[in-house]
Amino acid sequence: MKAGVLATGSVLVSAKIANAQEVIAFKLPDLGYPLDAMEPHIDATTMGIHHGKHHAAYITNLNTAVASSDDLKGKTIEALVGDLGAIKDAKLMATVRNNGGGHWNHTFFWDSLSPAARSGKPSDDLTAAINASFGSVVKMKEAFAVAAMTRFGSGWAWLIEKDGKLAITSTPNQDAPMMKGMVPDTEIGKPLLGVDVWEHAYYLKYQNKRADYVAAFWNVVDWSAVSKRLG
Ligand code: MN
């Protein structure tokens, strides 16, 4: 009898610990600015749905996936998306790839935006790095726009730092430049800037005109934040 009571108590403690672990979940980050802060370049309705519905859904799905696997619990988002090959279950891996990537990419995207009046310009160091790799800021923006326009379907265009140089890449879906083993090695690098070219990011205001959205995006790039990522 006594052993039975102890065993029951032990089970209860384990359940409490398990619940406590599930409480430590990824949360939707605050934007740090009002939904209409990027008007007219990115409209408030798009921002609200994009952040409050799309990004939130990635987080909900990611938390469900993490809660289902003891191997995933307690890891940072960078650890999860940077080592997807460690997840042996193919379906679970795909869920973390899509939704973990979605969480990381969107957090990075929100942190890359600033109202047009405070957008600024690349730092001297970043300007020098851009000039060394592309010839000029204008040429970098052209290459970035080409990557954004030629990404078929949904995905992202990126400015990345790789082996001491800068490069323009793009990824499908919610893949990100740190997803080793998932994206080609040529596209692995440190992301400095990314633009979301999923239709949900621009369709309400720009409809099929992705090029107009990408051109408008430059007005709300937070160059201070982007410049600090260099190095
Ligand atoms: Mn998005």
Query: Residue 201 Cα, ligand 1 centroid: separation in angstroms?
Result: 5
Query: Residue 202 Cα, ligand 1 centroid: separation in angstroms?
Result: 9
Largest CA-CA distance found in the chain, in angstroms, rounded:
80
The more confident residue out of 75 and 24 is 75
Query: Residue 86 Cα, ligand 1 centroid: separation in angstroms?
Result: 26
Domain ranges of the chain: 116-228
How far is residue 173 from each of residues 93, 115, 182, 209, measured CA to CA in Å? Answer: 14, 26, 12, 19
Q: Which residue has the tokens 């980050």?
A: 29
Q: Would you place residue 10 in the very low, low, confident or very high pLDDT band (cuts 50, 70, 90)?
A: very low
Query: Residue 48 Cα, ligand 1 centroid: separation in angstroms?
Result: 11
Query: Residue 230 Cα, ligand 1 centroid: separation in angstroms?
Result: 24
Query: Residue 129 Cα, ligand 1 centroid: separation in angstroms?
Result: 28
Give the mean model confidence (pLDDT) for residues 19-48.
88
What's the topology of domain 116-228? minor pseudopilin epsh fold (3.55.40)
Q: Which residue has the tokens 């051109």?
A: 215
Could you read off the pLDDT of 46-71 as tens digits, one per residue? 999 999 999 999 999 999 999 999 99
In angstroms, the CA 65 to CA 22 distance is 11
Query: Residue 106 Cα, ligand 1 centroid: separation in angstroms?
Result: 6
> Contact 84/93 with Cβ under 8 angstroms?
yes
How far is residue 18 from each of residues 183, 209, 229, measured CA to CA in Å? Answer: 34, 48, 37
In angstroms, the CA 35 to CA 42 distance is 9
Query: Residue 107 Cα, ligand 1 centroid: separation in angstroms?
Result: 10
Could you read off the pLDDT of 111-124 as tens digits, one per residue? 999 999 999 999 99
Residue 16 has pLDDT above 50, yes or no: no
Instruction: Give the per-residue pLDDT at 15.
Output: 43
Instruction: Give the per-residue pLDDT at 19.
Output: 52
Instruction: Give the per-residue pLDDT at 191.
Output: 98
pTM of the model: 0.89
Query: Residue 156 Cα, ligand 1 centroid: separation in angstroms?
Result: 9
How many Å is the Cα radius of gyration of the chain?
A: 20
What residues does the ion ligand 1 have nearby, CB within 5 Å?
196, 198, 201
Residue 21 has pLDDT above 80, yes or no: no
Give the mean model confidence (pLDDT) for residues 12-36.
71
Residue 6 has pLDDT above 90, yes or no: no
For 123, counting Cβ atoms within 10 Å of its Cβ (0-12 exposed, 13-18 middle, 19+ buried), the class is middle
Could you read off the pLDDT of 143-199 as tens digits, one per residue? 999 999 999 999 999 999 999 999 999 999 999 999 999 999 999 999 999 999 999
